[in-house]
Amino acid sequence: MQIPDPISALYSHQGPFVSVYLDATRATESGETEVGLRWRGQRERLAEEGADEKTLAAVDEVAGAHTEVAGRHGQFIVAAGGEVLLDEVTRRPPLRELARWSPLPHVLPYLVDRSTQIPHLTVLIDRTGADVYTVLDEIHSDQMSVEGGAEYPLRKTGRDVWNERAFQNRVENAWESNSKEVAQTINHHLPPEVRVVLVAGDPRARNLVTEELTKVLPQRVTVRQLEHGARAEGTSREALDEEVRSALLHQLWAERHDILARLQQAVGRHDYAVTGISAVLDALRKAQVDTLVLSDDPSSTATCSIGPDPLLLAGTDAELTDLGVTDIQHDRLDAALVRALVGSGARLVITPGGHQYVEQGIAALLRYTDASTPT
């Protein structure tokens, strides 16, 4: 994933930061009071760690305030300098609530949650148009309808005598024209986050629109056809929803498999890849990293020395001192890694059980190598 813009924007602010992961579920009549009590406990811990009252008061205003969201959900808040910088509803409560007062925002748990969500479109197509459902995550979604402009009769006669063939051809041309119009509209309105377009509905229409979509959509977008689902009003969505879930899981697996396969090949060639904390930190300092592969390890307590610039990070203070850095702080390794990815425009792949694949659960595919790159 590319680090989302709201996360990237955090690093334009001066720390230290308050980072809060709150269970904002109000499942009972006393739910609002329970959320307030949970935040109060976190607030007290943050105050003990040195968080200033002005910043804590800013968080008071938004903690548990998303009363429009029903069901189990969480809330991720980042604040600094008396201002709330980020306030996001998460699709499920945090596995464990936490609050940190630290030099950098603690964003990795949020990114782990985002990494399992595939922003996608589901297109229900027939021969006259399509209904398009956009899902960026379980909170943010949208819907639109696209009607093709071809008004010629859109159903063939089923006969193949000579005087019917011209009619049949005109019908086929109308289908193709509508498919092109649907594909162009989808491409025009495609959110940049979307990675998959799933096409369901009339078999002939979905073949036509799939062919057009593969021509106009960016190469980063995968187009898949689904067997279930129809545009007709009243059609059951149960089979379609299950097939959508299956297709998205397959896509997630395929993306991770592709990155890990590329990493394995690069490591095997001793070229354009490094593994282990020290080597990755060195590559980040030189903006060599194209894609960071990181194991999802919530129990990790690894820390890092950091300077004021996003690419000033190292395993020890001495390494930064040798670079002329005098303002040295310390924070979680994962927090420093994310800031460095933002600073160099690199991508992040989070994989469960990454310690099975790479040394210390961390590796990187590189943009370039030089004489100092370890092999």
The ranges assigned to domains in the chain are 5-108, 120-255, 270-366
Question: Would you state the pLDDT for residue 172?
Answer: 53
Question: Would you state the pLDDT for residue 67?
Answer: 84
Contact 224, 233 (CB under 8 A): no
Burial class of residue 257 in the structure, from the number of CB atoms within 10 Å of its CB (0-12 exposed, 13-18 middle, 19+ buried): exposed
What are the tokens at 195? 């990675």
Q: Which numeric CATH code is attached to 270-366?
A: 3.30.1330.30
Question: Would you state the pLDDT for residue 234?
Answer: 64
Nearest residue to 282 via CA among 322, 314, 238: 314
Distance of CA 200 to the CA centre of its chain: 24
Contact 112, 296 (CB under 8 A): yes
Is 270-366 in the same CATH topology as 120-255?
no
pLDDT tens track, the chain, 375 positions: 889 899 999 999 998 999 999 999 887 777 788 889 999 999 999 999 999 999 999 999 999 988 888 888 899 999 999 999 999 998 888 888 899 999 999 999 999 988 888 889 998 988 777 888 888 876 667 888 877 654 444 344 344 544 555 444 554 555 677 788 888 888 888 888 898 999 998 888 888 889 989 998 988 899 999 988 777 666 778 888 899 999 999 988 888 888 888 888 888 787 888 999 999 999 999 999 999 999 888 888 899 999 999 999 999 999 999 999 999 999 999 999 999 999 999 999 988 766 677 778 899 999 988 777 766
Is the alpha carbon torsion for 299, 303, 304, 307 positive or negative?
A: positive
Contact 62, 84 (CB under 8 A): yes
Q: Which numeric CATH code is attached to 120-255?
A: 3.30.420.60
Q: How far apart are alpha carbons 310 and 76 in whole angstroms? A: 22
Q: How open is the CA angle 124-125-129, to the nearest 5 degrees? A: 120
Distance of CA 327 to the CA centre of its chain: 33
What are the tokens at 149? 């402009």
